[in-house]
Amino acid sequence: MRDHGEVPACFLPPPGIDGWTTNELILMEVTALVGSQPIDVRYAVQYLPPPEGEPGSRRLLVTVLSGPRDAGTAWSNLPCRPDAPGWSCTTLDGSPATLGSKLECRQHAGAPETTAPPAAAVPRDPRLGTWVSENPAQPWHSLFALWGAAKNDAWAVGGAGTLLRYDGARWQPYPGPVQADLLAISGSGFRDVWAVGQHGAAMHWDGAAWRAAPVAQGANLDQLFAPAPEDAWAGSSSTGELFRWQAGAWKAIDPGLRVWRLFGTSERDVWVFDPSGALARFDGNRWTHSQPPLGVPVVALARVSPRHVVAAGSGGTIARFDGELWWHERNGTGGSIEQLWAPRRDVVWAFNSRQTWLRWFNGRWATSPIPEGAAGVRAAWGLAADDGWVIDSRGAMFQYDGKQWSQRSAGSPPSPVVELVTATAIIGGAPWVVGSGVMRLTPAGWASQPVPPGLQVEELAGVPQTLVQSIAGSSENDVWAVTHARHTWGERADATVWHFDGTEWRADASAPKTARVLWQRGRDDVWAAGDLEAVWHRTNSRWIQVDPGAKRDFPSDLRAYAITSDGAGGVWVAGDGPFKRCTTRGCTSYPSPIEGSEIIPFLAISTVSATQAYAVVGDPHLENAPLHGQEREDVEPSFAEWDGVRWKALDLGPVPMMLGAVAAGRGELWALGAGNKILHLKEGKLERMVLDDVETLSLITRTPDGVIRLVGDGGRVMRRAP
Amino acid sequence: MIAPLFAAVLGASDAVAVGADFTDGRVCSRVGWCWELPRPQGTPLSAFWGSGPRDVWAAGDSGTLIHFDGTTWSGRVDLVEVSLHALWGSGPRDVWAAGGAGTLLRFDGETWRRVPSGSDEDLRAVTGSSRQDVWAVGGRAALHFDGARWSSVPLPPNARLWSVWREGSDVFAQGGGLFRFDGRAFVEVQALDPGDPVPVAGPARTKFALRGGRLLKRAGEQWVGAGVATLERIERGWFPSSSLAWLVTMERGSLRYDGRDWKRYPLPEFATVIWERTPNDAWAATLFGVPMHFDGKRWTAPDQPCARFDGRMLAVADGEVWLGSHEQLCHRGAQGWEQVPTRFDTTPSAIAGTRSDDIWIATSTNLYHWNGEFLGDARQTPGRMPADNFWGLTRLWLDTRRSGWAVGERGLVLFWDSQRWTRVPSGTSAALRAAWSDGAGATWVVGAGGTALRWAGSSFESIRTPPMGKGGRHQVRHDLWIEIGPGAPGDLVAISGAAPDDIWAAGGPESAQQIICGTRAGPEPTPVDWGAALIHWDGKAWSAVPTGEVVYLHDVWARARDDVWAVGADVLMHFDGRAWSKQTLSRSPLERSGAVLLGGTKTELFILGDRTLRVLPLVPR
């Protein structure tokens, strides 16, 4: 036990978050100079309520996720240290605090609450700030992988060193020596299990204890193959590196290609696929290289026997290896496959990123119903065809009993899932998120809401994707929504406008069939815009067309993407055409402030007042496909600003492709771009941040209390205090 | 040239079988082949009789007589040379079987013996009241057994009997009318007008009749609907007493009448015969002779390990026999029959393999590989098949894991080199039907029009084959003859070699139009010895091998120079190095084309029919 002093302000919860009562887990990143080098240090901080019998005290669990790469970095060298008066910290295992340590810090009852400003030496990193996962709220859910040697002896690993053990009946937390995110786990038996993760984290279970055995190079390890005791392979799909554990140490291995997927059937048969799908096989002595056997990048592999390996490639390709030859097969479904589980030669599960899970049985692939609340699958494991486990992309666990999948999340109630998100709205002061489902923030947290009938996540068997595309409301008992079907090639069907009275959704047959977006000022004061940028206003229970829109041969040439208040009793409408400001008497068009804007549609508007609003421009066709690592640094201006007279371009320099923006007040703007990049414009200064440890975020919203939220597929909500 | 193979098929002595033959759990022929599929056997059955749940006999076509001991069926497929139609016994040590050509057999508890009937009519029914009072009828014969001998009972001239039963002390017979035994002769008690419904045989004759798929009942002078609650066509009925009846409908339903009500019980398969010993112990047979049992609640049929396999799909690989169909593959290995979980998009046409983890299956346009774990689709896998869109694959031959041939329509030949199937020019547009290779360089492909192609290292060369058959007319039965065009080229469908200079090919006259069938009214037949369903390669030339009345052979397997097997629709032939001999194979109704393919392991010969499989133990070589 060591006393590490007291906690500084940089570990205190951000203003507006009462983390002490809600067990918040906050990821924070701090930059500081260590010597003359700027060092980024990432922490996970969990706020714990007072221990029993000590109502006046508070506790923190602090994990240093990454920091200086110098081996043996001492806690005392870190830029943010728990050294505030009145606090004392100890590492959980009693060892000296260092990179990867998990510390418990305690504020002693009666000690003065620290209000000290951030120490000058360790300023809060303006690039990231502090974001909190609001949905799912529990760190439990950040599970990434699982593996077991027996049905009653399995392990699951996850974020911030999370380690769970399964005894055949329940999953329970198990102390582990690593605090980084653990991304992969595998083993060769009860007494030989490896887990690896971010920043070179690696640990080994010998049947009695987990011991850290980090890879010195510190790559993010997400690939693991552990065929035998004293023989394990780990790889990084992000850096392409490969390491092998032999003779008690990790050594870098050069397989002759960049590691993307690591797999093997035995100690003498280790496979490495590169991002193109090319294969290198190691037979114990040498590497043999071959062209991509699937013809496409390999996504997932599963071994049934030495002469039966199933592989899934991008685009839904499935092929099998018989020990000598690869055989392709038609899976007949399309869609991408993310994970495979092959417990028996005649039973293979292929898990799609979406809502079609495939089951191969008796020589045929067939879709299988997925359990309620499941999102895409990120890990699968099981030892028998009637006993399987998956972890979905939200970290929830599901078990298969041979007949059906059911949720078996460890401990916490399931968080609401919206598989695909399309829009947010502030209704009655609270944020709502819609898409393939509907959820809203309640005083007890995010909660699923009833959905309009007929939603369909993925185009399947000729039934097009159908989502809630827009939502608006005056209260939780007066909500309007638009659904429409959209085929994969983008064709949109007639819209249905629905009203929710707090109990059920009813279609409004009198609503315009081409309405696409909604905004609501109050009860019986609803606005809609749609194809051809036509605009309607609903009052006295009647929809009245305010503007018939432009004349085009194809309505798809001219679409409305956003409608919102103009701050003066009317609405702004943004879309493929010019800006329009509408009142119940009609609309006025405003010339584009941006050169060539006829082909650069306006995607979103956020209004501060009648004389100030912001708009985001971008390419709507990329809207659904912003991926990490593929963001585009747009050279075009991406923002426009309304000054009460005209729209003018707001040149913020090169920015990522923008997905949305919210105004936080005069001169202050928050914007979300591709790749989870966040821009914050305030008083003429632009701050940039990135959230790279969560799913792709695609929506941004701001509640009247000033809280900014980012929303991503699956229903992930990240929250930032004002 | 053709010697009687497998001597002593038919028992000339009184004792035709011993009791021990009925306990080994198999149904076999006298010469040694046994039913493998369907289980327990595949010859149609006509009658059941038993003294208890562990003593049930069944008799059927081609002399089939089998026994159920409470667990398994055992018996003979050719106990006698004629079909058996009826069974009755007074007890376990006194059972009678009646059949074709006046055949009567009696079981004394140990042995079935022939008993002279004094008649050559087909005996269709047998019944009795004791060891000293047994009746058998059929056609113009009505026979009575008094405990010592059978004697003939006079019949009216219109009688053509097919049923006999007792009612109290009276004996009735039916067929051409209804007749009662008056102590000396059968006398007509009810004439049958043409157009009347035929009253059912048995004591219920006054109540029920079957007509047009409906059961009628007597209402005064009229026949009216019997009120059986089914819309299905009633195919057959059994009325053993006035208070018991069984009906079978077209849609695999059975209906049981208990004297008051009809109750319906689904059947696993359509039944041709039902016999009830007690209300919870009844037996029925499928069209194909598979016994089904009724326990008072439901009918069950024996599990068939390989349902609905196809007559073109037989492979023997490393001692395992493989069968297949559109829906499945199945094989018999050390653990017995096992189904392979796979299916095909289209109907497979051939199967071949070298080991249980190296099985190829052809469809018309594709090839699939089973590696013991999964089915690889060659067409789906880039680079594994020729680029052109061929069709019409019909047969496969695998020498080794790394070398194989596939042949088909329009001269189609593909070669497998362990990585891919490539198209090999055949130089012919004839339909190719079979390939054989010794794996050491000798490769032959045969097909229609007498085509025989020999692999010459880089291409095929065509080798002339002799006409199959001299032509002429041949009397097949007393009322049927066939004519073969003279010198017709053979349609070669099978090839197998014992050595590169000892190869056999089988087939027959090329096409159906060259076989002309006629009746007795046709021209007088010319002498026999026109058939040559086999040709032989001696290393220099092909020569025709006369096969007598055997017109067409479907497959040939040269196990050794002095051990060659061939199979035709109804015939199994064997060559011992000196001469060919033959044995008739009784055809199951399952087999539209009869036996079609052969496959052999070191110890067994498999004979595949359309949906049947027979196995003949072989002397290990």
Its ipTM equals 0.77
Closest CA to B315 of B417, B396, B400: B396
Flag the least confident range among A48-57, B535-544, B555-564: A48-57
> What is the strand order of the sheet A163-166 is part of?
A143-150, A153-158, A163-166, A171-173
Q: Which DSSP state fits B88?
A: E
Q: Which two tokens stand for residue A379?
A: 């890990």
- The pLDDT assigned to A242 comes to 96
CB contact under 8 A, A322 and B369: yes
Beta strand ranges found along A393-487 (DSSP E) = 397-400, 405-407, 421-427, 430-435, 438-442, 445-449, 465-475, 478-486
- The pLDDT assigned to A8 comes to 44
* Contact in structure between A658 and A673 (CB atoms under 8 Å): yes
Residue A650 is inside which H or E element, if any? strand A647-650
CB contact under 8 A, B381 and A305: no
Find chain A residues with C-beta within 8 A of B341's C-beta: 345-346, 361-363
Query: Does the pLDDT of residue A264 top 70, yes or no?
Result: yes
CB contact under 8 A, B380 and A327: yes
CB contact under 8 A, A327 and B382: no
CA distance to partner chain B, nearest, from residue A184 (Å): 28
Q: Which two tokens stand for residue B153?
A: 């009972």
* pLDDT > 90: percent of chain A: 34
Query: Does the pLDDT of residue A117 top 60, yes or no?
Result: no
- The pLDDT assigned to B4 comes to 35
Residue A706 CB coordination number (10 Å): 12
CB contact under 8 A, A308 and B373: yes
Q: Which is more confidently placed, A393 or A524?
A: A524
* Contact in structure between B125 and B163 (CB atoms under 8 Å): yes
Cα B395 to Cα B407: distance, rounded to the nearest angstrom: 5
B375–A contact, CB cutoff 8 A: yes
Please, what is the Cα angle at B454 between B448 and B456, to 5 degrees?
150
Find chain B residues with C-beta within 8 A of A330's C-beta: 377, 380
Cα B493 to Cα A185: distance, rounded to the nearest angstrom: 58
Residues 6+ apart with CB under 8 A from A329: A318, A319, A320, B376, B377, B380
Q: Which two tokens stand for residue B201?
A: 């045989």
Q: Which DSSP state fits A401?
A: -
* Contact in structure between A48 and A86 (CB atoms under 8 Å): no
Cα A160 to Cα B97: distance, rounded to the nearest angstrom: 84
Residues 6+ apart with CB under 8 A from A133: A25, A694, A716, A717, A718, A719
Query: Does the pLDDT of residue A191 top 50, yes or no?
Result: yes
Cα B351 to Cα A498: distance, rounded to the nearest angstrom: 59
Residue A134 identity (one-letter amino acid): E
Residue B59 is inside which H or E element, if any? strand B55-60
Find chain B residues with C-beta within 8 A of A320's C-beta: 374, 376
Query: Does the pLDDT of residue A68 top 50, yes or no?
Result: yes
Percent helix, strand, coil in chain A, to 5, is 5, 50, 45
CB contact under 8 A, B372 and A307: yes
| Tens-place pLDDT, residues B135-173 | 999 999 999 999 999 999 999 999 999 999 998 889 999
Residue with tokens 């059912």: B200
Residue A118 pLDDT level (bands cut at 50, 70, 90): very low
Q: Mean pLDDT across chain A, nearest whole number? A: 79
Q: Which is more confidently placed, A412 or A311?
A: A311
CB contact under 8 A, B357 and A307: yes
Q: Which of B330, B357, B366, B374 is best to mutate for the A interface (most A CBs within 10 A)?
A: B374
Closest CA to B230 of B213, B244, B242, B218: B213
Size of interface A-B (CB pairs under 8 A): 57
Find chain B residues with C-beta within 8 A of A344's C-beta: none
Q: Which is more confidently placed, B100 or B15?
A: B100
Residue A13 pLDDT level (bands cut at 50, 70, 90): low
CB contact under 8 A, B419 and A325: yes
CB contact under 8 A, A320 and B374: yes
Residue A274 pLDDT level (bands cut at 50, 70, 90): very high
Cα A78 to Cα A76: distance, rounded to the nearest angstrom: 6
B372–A contact, CB cutoff 8 A: yes
Burial call A437-467: b when 16+ CB within 10 Å, e when fewer: bbbbbeeebbebbebbeebbbbbbeeebbbb
- The pLDDT assigned to A157 comes to 93
When pLDDT is averaged across residues A410-436 and rounded to a whole number, the result is 83
Flag the least confident range among A60-74, A209-223, B261-275, B338-352: A60-74
Residue with tokens 């003018």: A648
Flag the least confident range among A114-123, A354-363, A529-538: A114-123
CB contact under 8 A, A319 and B381: yes
Residue B355 identity (one-letter amino acid): R
CB contact under 8 A, B342 and A304: no
CB contact under 8 A, A320 and B376: yes
Q: Which DSSP state fits A532?
A: G
Cα A234 to Cα A253: distance, rounded to the nearest angstrom: 10
B376 closest CB neighbour out of A304, A325, A364: A325
Cα B308 to Cα A193: distance, rounded to the nearest angstrom: 48
- The pLDDT assigned to A37 comes to 56
Cα A306 to Cα B373: distance, rounded to the nearest angstrom: 10
B383–A contact, CB cutoff 8 A: no
When pLDDT is averaged across residues A664-673 and rounded to a whole number, the result is 86
Residue with tokens 């004996």: B171
CA distance to partner chain A, nearest, from residue B38 (Å): 23
| Tens-place pLDDT, residues B51-77 | 999 999 999 998 999 999 999 999 998
When pLDDT is averaged across residues B273-284 and rounded to a whole number, the result is 94
| Tens-place pLDDT, residues B473-498 | 666 666 666 665 555 667 899 999 99
CB contact under 8 A, A325 and B378: no
Q: CB-hemisphere CA count at 13 Å for B113?
A: 10
A308 closest CB neighbour out of B342, B374, B418: B374
* Contact in structure between B284 and B254 (CB atoms under 8 Å): yes
> What is the strand order of the sheet A357-361 is part of?
A337-344, A347-352, A357-361, A364-368
* Contact in structure between A616 and A661 (CB atoms under 8 Å): yes
Cα B493 to Cα B395: distance, rounded to the nearest angstrom: 10
A327 closest CB neighbour out of B343, B372, B376: B376
* pLDDT > 90: percent of chain B: 53
Residues 6+ apart with CB under 8 A from B413: B405, B406, B407, B423, B424, B425, B426, B432, B435, B445, B453, B460
CB contact under 8 A, A361 and B341: yes
Query: Does the pLDDT of residue A71 top 60, yes or no?
Result: no
CB contact under 8 A, B378 and A295: no
Residue A670 pLDDT level (bands cut at 50, 70, 90): very high
- The pLDDT assigned to B327 comes to 80
Burial call B141-160: b when 16+ CB within 10 Å, e when fewer: bbbbbeeeebeebebeeebe
- The pLDDT assigned to B98 comes to 96
Read off φ and ψ for residue B615, nearest 5 degrees: -135, 135
Closest CA to A575 of A614, A534, A527: A534
For chain B, the distance separating the N- and C-terminal CA atoms, rounded to the nearest angstrom, is 25
Residue A601 pLDDT level (bands cut at 50, 70, 90): low
Residues 6+ apart with CB under 8 A from A39: A31, A32, A33, A67, A68, A79
- The pLDDT assigned to B225 comes to 83
* Contact in structure between A314 and A336 (CB atoms under 8 Å): yes
Q: Which of A303, A305, A327, A359 is best to mutate for the B interface (most B CBs within 10 A)?
A: A327
Residue B201 is inside which H or E element, if any? none
Find chain B residues with C-beta within 8 A of A307's C-beta: 357, 371-373
For chain A, the distance separating the N- and C-terminal CA atoms, rounded to the nearest angstrom, is 38
Residue A550 pLDDT level (bands cut at 50, 70, 90): confident
3-class state of residue A306 by DSSP: coil
Residue in chain A nearest B340 by alpha carbon: A362
Residue B101 identity (one-letter amino acid): A
B376 closest CB neighbour out of A322, A361, A363: A322
Find chain A residues with C-beta within 8 A of B377's C-beta: 327-330
Residues 6+ apart with CB under 8 A from A161: A63, A102, A176, A177, A178, A179, A180, A181, A182, A197, A201
CB contact under 8 A, A307 and B381: no
Query: Does the pLDDT of residue B100 top 90, yes or no?
Result: yes
CA distance to partner chain B, nearest, from residue A30 (Å): 52
CB contact under 8 A, B381 and A327: yes
- pTM for the full predicted model: 0.66
Residue in chain A nearest B373 by alpha carbon: A345
Flag the least confident range among A73-82, A199-208, A611-620, B56-65: A73-82
Cα A180 to Cα A540: distance, rounded to the nearest angstrom: 58
Closest CA to B581 of B590, B571, B591: B571
Cis ω on the peptide bond leading into residue B489 (within 30° of 0)?
Answer: no
B373 closest CB neighbour out of A295, A304, A326: A304
Number of H helices, E strands in chain B: 0, 62
List B residues 407-426 in contact with A (Cβ-Cβ < 8 A): 418-419
CB contact under 8 A, A363 and B376: no
B76–A contact, CB cutoff 8 A: no
Find chain A residues with C-beta within 8 A of B419's C-beta: 325
Please, what is the Cα angle at B96 between B90 and B97, to 5 degrees?
145
Residue B260 identity (one-letter amino acid): R
Cα B485 to Cα B469: distance, rounded to the nearest angstrom: 9
Cα A210 to Cα B571: distance, rounded to the nearest angstrom: 73
CA distance to partner chain B, nearest, from residue A359 (Å): 14
For B372-406, the DSSP string reads SS-EEETTTSTTSS-SS----EEEEEEEETTEEEE
* Contact in structure between A408 and A381 (CB atoms under 8 Å): no
Residue in chain A nearest B382 by alpha carbon: A328
